[in-house]
């Protein structure tokens, strides 16, 4: 007698680190950026608290057009800052650029970033962010320019739940009390991380953040008085672990040759399921799953039929996220329980 034993190891989805802003400069409350000008070609920014190794450092630079470079004071293999997004005003004279260093090395008693810009001025904003993916971490970018209050930032339509939204602007003339507010229909609460008025030293600049819990379209704006021709550049940042959401299926194995719907329960972590959520099955010929029935943002069911073909089926979420999970078809189907709907 021959016995065919098939074993499929189905690993549970890994937990995802939550994105957070650890600190701005200098400190976690809104405060002056490390600005210089006019005629300056560099600025030096120092975090008031030593960042944590492995986190990310983001540097937003308001400056004239031209090449921007930066270096920090960590020894050995220095952290590398790469440009992630850029925008300019209507005339192309002013820019706002976002740079990031991921999985940072920290080996000194202070953490200082020196930014070099074309001669004129610079108003940098620096932030430490935890929970960010170390590669392919940018979900979306946008840029927008205008010359009135509110100073609008561009719309970003995210494809991952739990993104961190980051916006920064460059503007002459601003001298009032700065605030950041959502643009209707966005109702997100944004936090002002740093701000610099145009006090004769430099161009006005500021940075704001928000952490969202669902995919959607988001747009922030900065309010105040005296804005000149301005530009805002925004980035949506993904969390470590695939964008901040995951889900698992139960049962993890189902039998072959079942023409009636087998009900598979789905449990999400950090998901934002709703009426537009779509689940699709792929990977095994003859497996078909119907529409998903969502009972909450983290709970749903889906009914699937199977053929005589065994294998591993991947269930993929779309519209409200991009997470996946797997179930086995025909492997150890006698273990565990499942519901069949006739």
Residue 14 in this model has a pLDDT that exceeds 80: no
Per-position DSSP letters for 68-120, written without gaps between them? -EEEES--SS----EEEEEEE-TTS-EEEEEEEE-S----SSS-EEEEEEEEE
3-state SS assignment for residue 203: coil
The structure's pTM equals 0.68
How many alpha carbons lie under 13 Å from residue 72 in its C-beta half-sphere? 33
pLDDT, tens digit, 9 for 90 and up, residues 172-199: 877 777 889 999 999 999 999 888 877 6
Partners of residue 82 on adjacent β-strands: 100
At residue 242 the predicted structure's pLDDT band, cuts being 50, 70 and 90, is low
- What integer pLDDT is reported at residue 206 of this predicted model? 87
Higher pLDDT, 36 or 267: 267
- What integer pLDDT is reported at residue 177 of this predicted model? 78
- What integer pLDDT is reported at residue 199 of this predicted model? 66
**CA 4 and chain centroid, separation:** 46
DSSP state of 24: B
Residue 138 in this model has a pLDDT that exceeds 90: yes
Partners of residue 96 on adjacent β-strands: 62, 87
What is the mean pLDDT of the segment spanning 84-111? Answer: 92
Most confident of the following: 31-40, 98-107, 147-156: 98-107
Count of residues for the chain? 342
Least confidently predicted of 100-104, 206-210, 241-245: 241-245
State the Cα–Cα distance between residues 158 and 114, nearest whole angstrom. Answer: 32
Q: Find, among 274, 131, 322, the residue nearest to 211 by Cα.
A: 131
pLDDT, tens digit, 9 for 90 and up, residues 59-79: 999 888 888 999 999 987 779
Mean of the per-residue pLDDT values for the chain? 82
pLDDT, tens digit, 9 for 90 and up, residues 286-328: 998 888 999 998 899 999 999 999 888 889 887 766 778 888 8
What is the mean pLDDT of the segment spanning 278-283? Answer: 90
- What integer pLDDT is reported at residue 321 of this predicted model? 66
């Amino acid at each position: 007698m021959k016995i065919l034993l098939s074993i499929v190891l189905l690993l549970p989805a890994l937990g995802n680190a939550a994105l957070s802003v650890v600190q701005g400069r200098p400190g976690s409350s809104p405060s002056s950026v490390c600005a210089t000008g006019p005629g300056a070609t560099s600025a030096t920014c120092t975090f008031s608290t030593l960042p944590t190794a492995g986190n990310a450092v983001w540097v937003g630079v308001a400056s004239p057009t031209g090449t921007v470079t930066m270096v920090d004071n960590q020894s050995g293999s220095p952290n590398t800052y790469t440009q992630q997004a850029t925008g300019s005003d209507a005339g192309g004279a002013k820019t706002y650029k976002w740079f990031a260093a991921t999985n940072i090395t920290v080996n000194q008693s202070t953490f200082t970033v020196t930014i070099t810009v074309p001669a004129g001025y610079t108003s940098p904003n620096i932030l430490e962010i935890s929970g960010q993916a170390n590669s392919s971490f940018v979900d979306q970018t946008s840029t927008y320019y205008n010359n009135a209050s509110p100073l609008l930032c561009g719309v970003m339509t995210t494809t991952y739940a739990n993104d961190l939204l980051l916006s920064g602007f460059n503007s002459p003339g601003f001298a009032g009390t700065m605030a950041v507010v959502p643009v209707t229909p966005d109702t997100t609460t944004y936090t002002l991380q740093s701000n610099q008025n145009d006090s004769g030293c430099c161009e006005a600049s500021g940075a704001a953040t928000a952490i969202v819990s669902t995919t959607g379209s988001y747009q922030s704006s900065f309010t105040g008085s005296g804005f000149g021709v301005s530009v805002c550049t925004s980035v949506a940042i993904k969390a470590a672990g695939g964008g901040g959401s995951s889900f698992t299926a139960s049962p993890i194995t189902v039998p072959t040759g079942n023409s009636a719907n087998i009900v598979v329960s789905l449990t999400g972590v950090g998901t934002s399921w709703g009426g537009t959520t779509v689940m699709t099955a792929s990977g095994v010929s003859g497996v078909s799953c119907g529409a998903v029935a969502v009972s909450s943002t983290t709970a749903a069911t889906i009914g699937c039929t199977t053929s005589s073909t065994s294998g591993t089926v991947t269930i993929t979420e779309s519209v409200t996220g991009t997470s996946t999970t797997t179930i086995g078809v025909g492997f150890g189907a006698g273990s565990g329980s499942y519901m069949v709907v006739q």
